Amino acid sequence: MRNVGCRSRRALHQGEAVLELHAMRVRIYSNEIEAPLSPFIGKFLGNVCFGITSSLKTPLPIKSLKYEIDGETVRIEVNQMPVPLNMSQGFSRIIVLDTLRGMIRHLKLADPNGVIRIEVEMETAS
């Protein structure tokens, strides 16, 4: 598991700006075989996955993400709860699938066309 860096998020809380930093642990699997990630690729992959998920209607705060791609099917879990992607006649599913497939296309995976699983764990800095 690679600890790949921080992501900041600003939120207003009773008139004050609150800055939360998140360390991410990112893993990617192809047909259940874990692929090594450089710090840059891990951070990029984690930030894109976090950005996609935070744009959808998901439970907050986001503590963990799991994306599974199997052919044309994509499943997302946030905090171990499934996130439906059937909004807007399937557009959400298509844009998420195309984004993830494009992002991982050039990674050295055991089988880039096989079942892909991306796991991201967020840790709030204290």
Residue 58 pLDDT class (50, 70, 90 cuts):
confident
pLDDT greater than 60 at residue 102:
yes
- Look at residue 35 in the predicted model and tell me its pLDDT: 93
What the block records as the tokens of 104 is 């991982």
- Look at residue 67 in the predicted model and tell me its pLDDT: 97
Rounded-to-integer distance, Cα 110 and Cα 113, Å: 9
pLDDT greater than 60 at residue 28:
yes
> In 3-state terms, the chain is what percent helix, strand and coil (to 5)?
30, 45, 30
- Look at residue 124 in the predicted model and tell me its pLDDT: 65
- Look at residue 60 in the predicted model and tell me its pLDDT: 82
- Look at residue 87 in the predicted model and tell me its pLDDT: 56
Residue 8 pLDDT class (50, 70, 90 cuts):
very low
Q: What is the DSSP string of 86-105?
A: -GGGGHHHHHHHHHHHHHHT
